Amino acid sequence: MVSIASRASWGARFRDGDIGLSGLAAEVIFHHTVTATLPATATVAQERAQMQHLESIGQNRFGQGISYNLIIFPSGRAYQGVSWGRRGTHTGGRNSTARGIAFAGNFDQHQLSAQALATAAAIYRHGRGRWWRTDAPVRGHRDVSATACPGRHITGATLAQIRAGSTQSQPAPPPTPANPPLSGRVDVNVNLPLLDLRNAQNVSVSTPGVALLQGLLMAHRLGPDGLVGSTGRPTGVAGGRTREIFLQFQRNNNLTPDAICGPLSWRALLTPFQP
């Protein structure tokens, strides 16, 4: 489980939502705060100041303190906003039935960090059956309202990866057919890059798509001791460890073990997690 800093730790000053909620949330909705995007190396003090700023924004807009249930920073640290059992003001018409999680920053302009993505997946996984239903969908704010939130760099594939992280605590997904036919269309809502990991054991590879690949390999329950050393979370940087686990995945699925993640490999990786 990822640690979540309490409201008291960052100095919450205003009310904790407006009413208490009972039962499990029906869905989890992701947002971005459209405030300053701190670097992944930001200090806890900087993040606490940002939390107080976000609380002031929510208080000025709605009079109920901070709007979101949880805020995740690029560092991967997470802070409690509105308590899970209290109603916030994150998503119009859904505040009583959904829980709102926000990535701190502007993700129309910036890429989501691997640390923040890994934290979101871990929290979604931990919250299943605890804060939201075990089958609760993961949605972006734009999926339920006329808005660009949570930003163009948080794609449908990003949200699918967050939800796919939950498979680590469930039975393994059904086996993927070997070499699925090219005529079988899998819409992943994103143009996935060609990843060449052939030399990753000698030179680390850091290109778009690496963090997604690492997260999907984890979701397929490969590398039980962690893909990227002792952290066990996507880093967005592929070395020899990621390369070897990806080769294992290709062999398991009767794909050519060439350490190149192209259309067939992406399809095999994503198929079990498509809606």
Is the confidence at residue 159, as pLDDT, over 80? yes
Distances (CA, A) of 252 to 127, 179, 265, 267: 31, 11, 11, 14
Q: Read off the pLDDT of residues 216-267 as tens digits, 9 standing for 90 and up.
A: 888 776 655 444 444 556 777 888 888 888 898 999 899 999 999 888 888 8
DSSP 218-231: HHTT--TT-TTGGG
Tell me how far the alpha carbon of residue 181 is from its chain's centroid.
Answer: 30
Residue with the larger pLDDT of the pair 273 and 266: 266
| pLDDT at residue 180, rounded to an integer | 34
| pLDDT at residue 207, rounded to an integer | 73
Q: What stretches of 104-145 adopt beta strand conformation (E)?
A: 138-140
| Calpha distance 29→226 (Å, rounded) | 28
| pLDDT at residue 231, rounded to an integer | 53
Nearest to 227 by CA among 134, 149, 69, 118: 118
In the three-class reduction of DSSP (H, G, I as helix; E, B as strand; rest coil), residue 86 is classed as: strand
The position carrying tokens 């919250």 is 127
Pick the CATH number of 195-273 from 1.10.101, 1.10.10, 1.10.238, 1.10.287: 1.10.101
Q: Read off the pLDDT of residues 180-219 as tens digits, 9 standing for 90 and up.
A: 333 333 344 445 778 888 888 777 777 777 888 887 888 7
- Specify the pTM: 0.62
CATH 3.40.80.10: does it fit domain 4-169?
Answer: yes
Average of pLDDT values for 104-130? 93
Is the confidence at residue 179, as pLDDT, over 50? no
Is the confidence at residue 171, as pLDDT, over 60? no
Q: Could you tell me the pLDDT band of residue 173, with boundaries at 50, 70 and 90?
A: very low
Bridge partners, residue 98, by sequence: 27
* Mean pLDDT computed over every residue of the chain: 83
How is the chain split into domains, by residue range? 4-169, 195-273
Amino acid at 109: Q
Q: Could you tell me the pLDDT band of residue 38, with boundaries at 50, 70 and 90?
A: very high
